[in-house]
Amino acid sequence: MPQLLLGTPCLSLAYPRTHSIFIRSLSLALNSKMEWYSVGKVGATVNELDPLLEKFFQSLESNDRHQGDHEQDGELIVILVCGLNDWKDAFINFPRGFGLLGFRNNLQQTITKIHAKSAAHRLRSTVYLPALPIKIGFLDENFGPKMKPLGYIFEFICYLWDNQKQIIASECKEKNVVFIEEPTAESEYIDAAVKANTKGKFISDDGVHPSRRGYFYYAMHLSDRIIHSRR
């Protein structure tokens, strides 16, 4: 049964080789051919994803017309990496920006649209909501928010926004929305990296975004959690 993978741009735009490894590991574990679609743009909030998702589903409609009615039903695995730009927007545009409840409502509406559009294309959909990988940043001296007390504040704010994802997943009766905890120093792939003396190489020179190595270990963590959730 064919499977489609819809991702946000962090893995594919930053380091294309990383998402190819990510796809390969999922494909082998699930014993299924997979296709990768990247939907999103740098700096976008959840509220700004709607037109991009609409364009994606329009491209599926074009494929449907070419394939006809004989193509067997498939599955859409959606990895929705979000939250950081949303809380930044809330602070920068205060009081006009979307706060915690606004973020949760916008995210819930986006997920509902994804499920509805997927069903219209005979696709079973599961949305994965990963927590932001903040803790691995604290293993790196380059991590800008590491400085106390800024680091505690930064981590707490990210936790508040990630908690909205967790609430949405926990309230989903169909079990087609899954929250993924962030990787920690004790996570399998991060622990292996630290023991291999790669500590301090998870963050890029801008002090915020993951480096090539950081994206690689984050991708492996997501792959592992997705596979685990499907057993």
SS (H, E, C) 9-69: HHHHHHCHHHHHHHHHHHHHHHCCCEEEEECCCCCCCHHHCHHHHHHHHHHHHHHHHHHHH
Q: Is 43 left (phi over 0), alpha (psi -120 to 50) or beta?
A: left
CB 3 within 8 A of CB 200: no
pLDDT at 154: 85
Q: How far apart are CA 197 and CA 155, in angstroms?
A: 25
Domain range summary for the chain, segments of one domain joined by +? 3-132+164-183+211-229
CA atoms within 13 A on the CB side of 11: 29
What interhelical angle do 212-229 and 188-195 show, nearest 10? 150
What is the DSSP code (8-state) at residue 183? P
Highest averaged pLDDT of the listed ranges 59-68, 152-161, 164-173, 180-189: 164-173
Mean pLDDT of 208-222: 80
Superfamily per CATH, domain 3-132+164-183+211-229: SGNH hydrolase (3.40.50.1110)
Q: How far apart are CA 194 and CA 31, in angstroms?
A: 31
In degrees rounded to 5, what are phi and psi of residue 129?
Answer: -115, 95
| pTM given for the model | 0.85
Q: How far apart are CA 231 and CA 223, in angstroms?
A: 13
97 pLDDT band, cuts 50/70/90, is low
Task: Report residue 121 CA to chain centroid gap.
Answer: 22
Please count the other Cβ atoms lying within 10 Å of the Cβ belonging to residue 70. Answer: 5
- pLDDT tens, 101-160? 889 999 999 999 999 999 998 888 999 999 988 887 777 777 777 667 777 888 899 999
